């Protein structure tokens, strides 16, 4: 079953009064439920912009994005809020995306509080412990601050936060490229495990093809704002 449909999506940025940057130029693809779809290409080719436009964080210039048949960009604010419960994002730099003044407990609780997932603080706390275990962190990490962790651990915190609302769909935007090479495989394996266990649908954005090949069922290759190849993972550049 197709869960996400990106149809002829365009996203242009006005660089100045008489210059437009065509960051995403007429891109179409579909992602099936439970699938991991990799989006690869050189830095600056438009991958992040697609990810953000899919979530409605950017307005589109043209085209449409359908999630489970619903046009994300024409949803009313309240419906988009509800949709964001199902769709979560994992970012490249876990340090920049985690509030340095919040404890791990607060960071992971925040989406649950915003979406009023539980009525009692105690339930949230238990859920935080459960999420920490799922991403390979410990209970007593809950009261610490992001700077007390390594890059790989911080990305685990970001992943726990993204999982807090039991999402269906996760966009991981360069989730490993800010990490030491030795840590990258661990985080990829964790994401794989989570994908398998929960049957999540993943859009995995990266410039490094080898990692994406390991994790993705299908891959879309971007070049200068265009999707130039769309193929099953095992068929891509098989030498
Ligand atoms: P990638 O994720 O593939 O590295 P991006 O989607 O981040 O590429 O960027 C695509 C192009 O759009 C780049 O030229 C980038 O500078 C530009 N761009 C991205 N975000 C913005 C923005 N908010 N305003 C203007 N230009 C942007
Ligand atoms: P990424 O690492 O996701 O490719 P960058 O580090 O290039 O993103 O950019 C960081 C932020 O600045 C993002 O929100 C991106 O959308 C925005 N951005 C990127 N390029 C430009 C640009 N040319 N003009 C304005 N904003 C930009």
Listing DSSP states for 71-118 in one string gives: EGGGS-HHHHHHHHHHEEEE-S-HHHHS-TTS-HHHHHHHHHHHTT--
Question: Which ligand sits closest to the CA of 221?
Answer: 1
SS3 120: coil
| Nearest ligand, CA 224 | 1
- Per residue in 18-28, pLDDT tens? 899 999 999 99
In the reported structure, the alpha carbon of residue 134 is separated from the centroid of ligand 2 by a whole-number distance in angstroms of 31
Is the confidence at residue 66, as pLDDT, over 50?
A: yes
Tell me the per-residue pLDDT of 157-183, one tens digit each, with 9 for 90 and over: 999 999 999 999 999 999 999 899 889
| Most ligand 1 atoms within 8 A of CB, residue of 23, 40, 223 to mutate | 23
CA distance 146 to 152: 11
Q: How far is the CA of 202 from the centre of ligand 1 (A)?
A: 21
Q: Which of 46, 48, 55 to mutate to test the pocket of ligand 2 (most atoms within 8 A of CB)?
A: 48
pLDDT band at 186 (very low <50, low <70, confident <90, very high): very high
Beta bridge partners of 223: 226
In this prediction, residue 237 carries a pLDDT of 66
Predicted pLDDT of residue 230: 93
CA distances from 100 to 38, 59, 149, 211 (A): 30, 29, 11, 29
Pocket test for ligand 1, best of 10, 15, 21 (most atoms within 8 A of CB): 21
What pTM did the predictor assign?
0.89
Which residue's alpha carbon is at the smallest distance from atom 6 of ligand 1? 46
* Closest of 80, 47, 5 to residue 204, by C-alpha: 47
- The chain-wide mean pLDDT, for the chain, equals 93
């Amino acid at each position: 079953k197709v869960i996400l449909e990106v149809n002829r999506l365009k996203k242009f940025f006005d660089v100045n009064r008489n210059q437009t940057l065509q960051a995403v130029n007429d891109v179409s693809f579909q992602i099936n439920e439970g699938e991991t779809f990799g989006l690869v290409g050189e830095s600056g080719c438009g991958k992040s912009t697609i990810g953000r436009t899919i979530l409605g964080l950017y307005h589109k210039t043209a085209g449409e994005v359908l999630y489970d048949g619903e046009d994300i960009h024409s949803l009313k604010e309240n419906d988009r809020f509800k949709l964001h419960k199902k769709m979560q994002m994992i970012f490249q730099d876990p340090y920049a995306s985690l509030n340095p003044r919040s404890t791990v407990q607060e960071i992971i609780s925040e989406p649950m509080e915003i979406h009023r997932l539980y009525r009692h603080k105690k339930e949230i706390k238990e859920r935080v412990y459960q999420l920490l275990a799922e991403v390979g962190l410990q209970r007593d990490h809950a009261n610490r601050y992001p700077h007390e962790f390594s890059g790989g651990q911080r990305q685990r915190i970001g992943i726990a936060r993204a999982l807090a609302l039991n999402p269906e769909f996760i966009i991981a935007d360069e989730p490993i490229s800010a990490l030491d090479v030795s840590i990258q495989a661990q985080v990829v394996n964790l994401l794989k495990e989570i994908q398998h266990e929960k049957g999540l649908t993943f859009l995995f954005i990266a410039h490094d093809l080898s990692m994406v090949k390991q994790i993705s069922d299908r891959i879309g290759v971007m070049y200068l704002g265009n999707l130039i190849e769309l193929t099953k993972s095992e068929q891509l550049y098989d030498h």
